[in-house]
Each structure stands twice: as C-alpha cells, then as structure tokens.
C-alpha cells in the first residue's frame, strides 16, 4: 500500500463523531506498521478548529475542506469536494463511519472513483500488507472476510462501537492543510434543520441500550424502560414491531431495516428476537434478555436471560441499579 491511509472525520452539531476516533485509533497502528501517513479529511464551514482533536487521536495530517456551501451536509456537495480531493492525492485507503451520512457519502464517492466499497465492517486486520475487513452477511447469520488486492483507494465503512478508542495523546499535533472548497451548483438545498433534543446518548454510539418490543403492549409503557435507561445513562431503542404499531418513532428502531448498534450492554425487554432485529444488535458485547416466553428466540443469543414479566422485572432492576449507583 502506498500514499497513506485516510479517514473521513464526520461532524455533527459542531462535534466530531466518536466513530472517527475509533477508526483513527485502530488505523494508527496499521499506518505505523506500513510506514504510511494517517490523514483525516474534515469538511464543513468553520470546522478548522476541530483539527487539533484529530491530531491528538493519531492523524499526521488533516485536510480541511471549508466553504459556505458545506455548512450543511448535502450528498452532491460533499461527494464532489471529497472525491476531487481523493483524485488529487490518490490515497491507498479511505475509511468512513457506517453512519447515515457515512453510508451515503461512501457509496457516492466510491462510484465517482470507480472503486469497490466494503460496508458495515465489524473488524479489520493487517495481513501481508493488505487490509482485511470482516463484515456480516445474510442478516448477520454469517461473517465474511474481504479485501481489495487491486482497487485503489480501498474503501470501507466501519460500524460504530466495534473498534476501541485509544486515549488522546496530549501535545500531539497534526499538520493542517486548509483548502477552499466550492462544490459548485447543488441539486439539494437545506432550508431548515429540525433537531430532536434529548439528554440521552445517540442510539448508534451508546454504550448501553435498553430496547422495548411488542411485549411493551403500548406506547404508554415505554416509560418503564425509559426510567431504567435514564438510571444507566443509556439510549432507548425499539423493535420493528413496536415501531410499526406506532408506539415509538422510526428513529428508535434497531434492526436490519432500522439502526445497527454495537453497545457494550444491550437490554432487550419484551423482544422476541426476530432475525431482522438480531441483525441490528447481534454484535453487542453483552446481551440481556427479559421475556416471559422461555422459548423466545432472543434467549439463543443472550448472555443473560430473565424469564418473567417485564412489568415486574424492569422496575426491580431500576431500583436495584439506583441503590448500586448511590452506594458507589
């Protein structure tokens, strides 16, 4: 591999997404083994002030693409400026987080560069100078290891929370290269941005998630798992059945047709364990299942299972966690 490893630094609400630091931490080791530079690409308006953070997490260089038309993410605008940059410098690899924006941008850039794209990767290794990626297939029922021996740049999206984050190195800096970027005429124009305010962590980046399914029996009962989530500092998710019933918004859906998550702890309450749901949370490090049906499919993947009525079990867990946290 030649000409360095590049990482797209995704920015949301003025902050760099955690998955960017996860990718930088892992690929810093690979760059050192290959004797290559690790570079970050930062795009937006007035984002240069975020570049020092990328240096602290391992970037040798940060290419800052700034322009008025990049204030809000648009597929057309970001694809053009990022693809043009990659065409000019021709890095060996370009990695992005497997987020909503990351998936969108990666597909468009790969098409522009006429290269392959490995999506939703859950692990990566360096073997004989090649980056080898692990990714799920068949709705998570199997995993395949893939690499690109000839395509350049090698492109892949990495699932959040599957790679570890190294501690930032105090005093470590990166060379910052500022580029005035104009994507030209855009087909998409952002007129307004509507934000949903929440004190809970974002679902795809949360370390702990408490999810409810059909067993919640109605939208009013989600307050039970919300109370547990707030005690644990967790995000709240839901199965497709709960979303289809109109109990919670689609933004909370975990599964093949929703969001893919990889938390440290996933607590499934009243979720049967349909294959499409398992595809979205199967890579969780520890799965706790609460269901009154001892034959529920969710118990086949759970590390810990509680057979019982969630309306009795969850409030008890909430109170016990409150006592435990108060005493610590």
The domain boundary, picked from 165, 180, 195, lies at 180
For residue 211, give every residue at least 6 positions away whose Cβ sits within 8 Å of its Cβ, in sequence order, or none: 225, 236, 237, 238, 239, 254, 266, 267, 268, 269, 271, 281
DSSP category for residue 88: H
CA atoms within 13 A on the CB side of 230: 10
CA–CA separation, 305 and 289 (whole Å) = 5
Q: Is 26 helix (H, G, I), strand (E, B) or coil?
A: helix
Could you tell me which of 303, 274, 298 has the C-alpha nearest to residue 287?
A: 303
The CB density around residue 25, as the number of other CB atoms within 10 Å, is 17
Q: Which domain holds residue 31?
A: 5-180
Task: Please state, in angstroms and rounded to a whole number, the distance separating the CA atoms of residues 151 and 196.
Answer: 40
Q: Percentage of residues in the chain with pLDDT exceeding 70?
A: 98
Is 192 part of any domain? no
Instruction: For the chain, give the mean pLDDT.
Output: 92
Q: Based on the domain organization, do 218 and 263 belong to the same domain? A: yes
The CATH number of the domain holding residue 274 is 3.40.50.1220
Residue 69 sits in a domain of what CATH number? 3.40.50.620
Does 1 have pLDDT greater than 70?
Answer: no
pLDDT band at 88 (very low <50, low <70, confident <90, very high): very high
Residue 323 lies in a domain: yes
On whether residue 195 sits in a domain, the answer given is no
Number of domains in the chain: 2
pTM: 0.85
């Amino acid at each position: 591999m030649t000409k360095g490893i590049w990482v797209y630094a995704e920015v949301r609400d003025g902050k760099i997404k955690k998955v960017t630091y996860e990718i930088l931490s892992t690929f810093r080791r690979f760059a050192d083994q290959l004797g290559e530079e690790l570079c970050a690409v930062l795009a937006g308006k007035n984002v240069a002030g975020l570049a020092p953070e990328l240096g602290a997490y391992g970037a040798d260089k940060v290419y800052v693409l700034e322009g008025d038309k990049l204030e809000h993410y648009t597929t057309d605008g970001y694809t053009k400026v990022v693809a043009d940059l990659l065409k000019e410098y021709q890095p060996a690899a370009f990695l992005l987080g497997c987020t909503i924006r990351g998936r969108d941008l990666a597909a468009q850039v790969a098409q522009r560069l006429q290269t392959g794209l490995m999506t939703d990767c859950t692990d990566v290794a360096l073997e004989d100078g090649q980056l080898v990626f692990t990714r799920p297939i068949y709705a998570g029922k199997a995993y395949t290891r893939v690499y690109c021996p000839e395509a350049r740049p090698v492109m892949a999206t990495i699932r959040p929370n599957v790679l570890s984050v190294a501690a930032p190195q105090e005093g470590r800096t990166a060379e910052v290269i500022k580029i005035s970027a104009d994507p030209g005429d855009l087909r998409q124009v952002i007129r307004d941005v509507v934000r949903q305010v929440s004190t809970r962590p974002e679902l795809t980046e949360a370390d702990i998630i408490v999810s409810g399914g059909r067993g919640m029996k109605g939208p009013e009962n989600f307050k039970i798992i919300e109370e547990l989530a707030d005690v644990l500092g967790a995000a709240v998710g839901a199965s497709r059945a709960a979303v289809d019933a109109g109990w919670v918004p689609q933004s909370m859906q975990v599964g093949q047709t929703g969001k893919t998550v990889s938390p440290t702890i996933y607590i499934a309450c009243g979720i049967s364990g349909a294959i499409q749901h398992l595809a979205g949370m199967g890579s969780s490090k520890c799965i706790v299942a609460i269901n009154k049906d001892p034959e529920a499919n969710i118990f086949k993947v759970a590390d810990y299972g509680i057979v019982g009525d969630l309306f009795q079990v969850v409030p008890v867990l909430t109170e016990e966690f409150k006592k435990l946290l108060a005493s610590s």
